[in-house]
Amino acid sequence: MKLRIILFVLSLLAFASVSVGGYLYHDSLKERALGEAERKGISYTETIRNHVSLFLSENLKAVRALAGMKELGTTLSDPSPSNIDEAHRILDHFQRALNADVCYLMSREGITIASSNRHAYDSFLGENYSFRPYFRQAVRGEPTLYLARGVTSRKRGIYCSHPVYGDRGSPMAGVAVVKASINPLEKEFGKTYEGIAALVSPEGVVFLSNREDWLYRFMWKPSPELTSQVALTRQFGEGPWKWTGFSTIDETHASDLSGTEYVLHKAEIENYPGWVITYLQSMALISRDVSLSFMRTTGFVILTVCVSIGVLILLLYRKASRLIVQRRTAEQALRESQETALALLNAPTQAALLLDRSGKILALNKTAAERFGKRASELIGRCAFELFDPEIARTRKAHHEKVVSSGRPVRYEDRREGRWFNTHVYPVFDTAGLVVRVAIFSEDVSEQKEAEQALKCAKEELTLYSRELEKRVEKRTQEISGILRYTPAVVYLKDREKRYTLVNSKFEELFRISNQEAQGKRDEDIFSHDKAARWKDKDDMVLVNGKSFQVEVVLPQKDGLHTYLSVKFPLFDEQGSVSGLCGIATDITALKKAEDHLRKLSASMISGQEKERTAIARELHDELGQMLTALRFEAVWMWERLKAKDPDAGERSLSMCELIDNTIDEVRGMSARLRPGVLDDLGLIPALDWYSAEFEKRTGIECIFFHDGGDKLGDVIATAAYRIAQEALTNAARHSGAKHVRIDLESGDGGMRLSVGDDGKGFNPKALTEGSCLGIAGMRERATLAGGYMEIRSNPGEGTLVEFRVPAAPAKEVFS
């Protein structure tokens, strides 16, 4: 009875122990599984990130090689049919070699002038894609990768753009673009992963995923502003862009709409800010795997023990010792089996082998079998060192023996058949701490090596380019500093708030303020209120309209007043917006004095010419006219005496009278044209009225004169207007072939406008040479001396208009 009670108590204690041990073992297994899932998630995320980064870098190299083809630069400079055909041949070759979707060449304006898909229904040829970011960045000289959905083809692709230059030293001529296929990346995302993998854009839109229903969806719930921004860029088509339903709990966990919790892993793609590999693992699946693993590994043992306790309690006593030994053996085998499985599962992309102490293969994964070119069943049980060349086998065996003897892992790197391999050798211990097995993991790192070498070369090139650029900037800075320091002109810069950002040495000298003191100050902080208002008068016009202007400003200096020609023009930023203004004031005092002297000399000459004409006209009218009149009286007297005695002589006398009359008319006309008395006696309007009638009678061209009745003009303006009209009518009669001429005169408020227009054949005013436009130069000179200006507007076949204006006396801007 006591034995039964003891066995019963032992059975209960055994059952309780098994239950507690199973619970603790399940909890331990769950914690280990969560850690293993975390490590796998990080490994999967890094693996996908490395593949995507390498694929993008390779495509950027390809488009750089395409842009370097000199034939493309020649085609952009001279788009002849033969050059375009050569460009098509090169684009076709690159498209086939790269297995890309399409390769095309764009002009500086964004128009596709050559394309490998020119014969396809969705051809890019002739299309304008200047709005695409990859084109705008390439035009600024920046090679670009742009992941987007095609506007024409509606297909996803990787747009790789690079600027194309012409001959050495010539500016950028266009852009070369390779639209790479995303099939390789889709295959990478299509691999069997335990979770959900996605490539997410900076805006949060899923571009690639092993879940096809997630494409073009927002990974995280977007704001209306973000949705509008995505729609505006058209990077991912026309929409709509739904939400996957996921929300973040913290940095490492997320949940969907049903409340299912996921482990979250993120890895940003190097050199492509904002683009992130996102990997999600379901916590429910991890827990289910733990339960299944628990049931597979320990459930049967627990069930067997429980049944054995209930049914074979008597046999338990006899076979207790043997069962304990068997249980320990089973646990050891189970532990070894778990270690083997974990070792192989930890390397989904690596070659993994498990060897015993002598080097025989106990287990290996599919990758390792493919490396040896045999099936796994053929390799298990063979010595691993027999599969290598003798020299390599010796090295491998030495590493194996070192791990077995020291119990420490060994890492080494070697190169075989042109490939680089990174190998790790780990010891596997038994319960006594002895090395009983060796786990080997070998990874092909050739692509990583090539990427590192390419990155190293790129860094060296970038360093050289940066140094060269720094030298250029330094040289240009020295040149600009020299110009600003030694130029005799006043130079200054202002920002949009009209604060000084830079003044040169001439500015400092004139206004006695240093560059450091002027920076950040406005005109009101430097000058008096009146001076500041005049000095900044046109600044607002420059900043608002984005146009330049010039004005004369008078500055007092030690040797008197100096006249400066101040030119102000806008400064633009990279977006084309006005960011400030620059002012340059040049001393034109000597030039103004020379102009005044020439103007006075010209006025004196024209005044003397008018006086000379008046004197000649008076001499012709008074002296020659009187002599011709007396001669006519004598001819009439002769006619009256000879008409009866000698009719022939009388007729000759009468002819002399007619000839003398014609001569008198010509002399009067010459006198009037030289200086019409009506201009001096009655004014400009009667003079123009008389001359227009005289012009129509003399040339047969219809001439109409309109005026507003105002004639309160000075002698200088009236004389200039009359002479300009006279010269314009003379040119119309000589050159225009016109049938109608119109003269308009308007005056009032201290100003005057005179215009002479014809319906002749017209001409190009810019085609006139200095030797063929002396009359026009004389008209301009008269207009300037009268305080006005003259304009000539004409086009071939559209007639000619000569306009003379004298504005009201302007107020001269003086800064004193």
> Using one digit for the tens of pLDDT, what is the confidence trace for 473-519?
788 777 777 777 778 788 888 998 889 988 888 888 788 888 888 88
Task: Assess if residue 3 is contained within a domain.
Answer: no
Same domain, 692 and 777: yes
* Coil vs helix vs strand at 631: helix
User: Are 764 and 732 part of one and the same domain?
Assistant: yes
Whether 690 is in a domain gets the answer: yes
Q: Hey, is 331 helix, strand or coil?
A: helix
Query: What's the CATH number where 217 sits?
Result: 3.30.450.20
Residue 340 pLDDT exceeds 70: no
Which of 55-64, 326-335, 767-776, 778-787 shows the lowest per-residue confidence on average (mean pLDDT)? Answer: 326-335
Look at residue 564 and tell me whether its pLDDT is greater than 60. Answer: yes
Q: Which stretch of 269-278, 290-299, 360-369 has the lowest confidence by average pLDDT?
A: 290-299
Same domain, 502 and 386: no
For residue 724, being part of any structural domain is answered with: yes
Query: Given this model, what pLDDT does residue 757 score?
Result: 93
Percent of the chain with pLDDT over 90: 6
Q: How confident is the model at residue 404 (pLDDT cuts 50, 70, 90)?
A: confident
* 810 domain-assigned: yes
Instruction: Give me the pLDDT at residue 610, please.
Output: 60
Residue 437: which of 334, 375, 357 has the closest Cα?
357
**How far apart, in whole angstroms, are the C-alpha atoms of residue 589 and residue 605?**
24
| Contact call for residues 66 and 95 (beta carbons, < 8 A) | no
Q: What is the DSSP string of 697-708?
A: HHH--EEEEEE-
Is 693 found in the same domain as 666?
no
Last residue of a domain, one of 554, 569, 587: 587
**Among 738, 807, 734, residue whose Cα is nearest residue 772:** 734
Residues 809, 799 within the same domain = yes
Q: Please work out, in degrees rounded to the nearest 5, the angle formed at the alpha carbon of residue 247 by the alpha carbons of 274 and 38.
A: 75
More confident residue, 82 or 624: 82
- CA–CA dist 183, 659 (Å, integer): 106
pLDDT per position as a tens digit, 575-624: 888 889 898 888 887 776 766 666 666 556 666 666 666 667 566 655 66
Cis preceding linkage at 240, omega within 30: yes
User: What is the residue range of 258's domain?
Assistant: 184-286
Question: Same domain for 692 and 803?
Answer: yes
Compute the average pLDDT of residues 281-288: 74
- Greatest alpha-carbon span in the chain: 200
- Higher per-residue pLDDT: 444 or 266: 266
Residues 532 and 514 occupy one common structural domain: yes
> Is the residue at 481 inside a domain?
no
Q: Is residue 301 part of a domain?
A: no
Both 229 and 156 in one domain: the answer is no
In this prediction, residue 115 carries a pLDDT of 92
pTM, to two decimals = 0.36
Asked whether residue 51 is domain-assigned, the answer is no
In a domain, 668, yes or no: yes
Predicted confidence band of residue 816 (pLDDT cuts 50, 70, 90) = very low
The tokens for 528 are 């008096």
Q: Are residues 339 and 400 in the same domain?
A: yes
Q: Is 750's pLDDT higher than 70?
A: no
570 upstream amide cis, omega within 30 of 0? no
Indicate whether 611 and 738 sit together in one domain: no
pLDDT in tens, 678-712: 566 567 788 888 888 888 888 889 999 998 876 66
Q: Which residues pair with 196 in a beta bridge?
A: 280
For position 357, what pLDDT does the model report? 85
Same domain, 630 and 552: no
Within 10 Å of residue 789's Cβ, how many Cβ atoms?
Answer: 13
Beta bridge partners, 330, equal none
3-class SS string, 758-769: ECCCCCCHHHCC
- Per the prediction, the chain carries an average pLDDT of 78
Please state which of the ranges 215-224, 524-533, 771-780, 804-813 shows the lowest mean pLDDT.
804-813
CATH number, domain with residue 763: 3.30.565.10
Whether 418 has a pLDDT exceeding 50, the answer reads yes
Q: Flag whether pLDDT at 4 surpasses 80.
A: no
The amino acid present at 617, given as its one-letter code, is A
pLDDT tens figures, 648-681: 777 777 787 778 777 776 766 666 565 565 566 5
Phi, psi for residue 435 in degrees, rounded to 5: -75, 115
Q: Give Cα separations from 516 to 181, 503, 544, 571, 804 (angstroms).
A: 57, 9, 27, 21, 50
Number of domains within the chain: 6
pLDDT at 191 over 80: no
Rounded CA-CA distance 200/120 in Å is 31
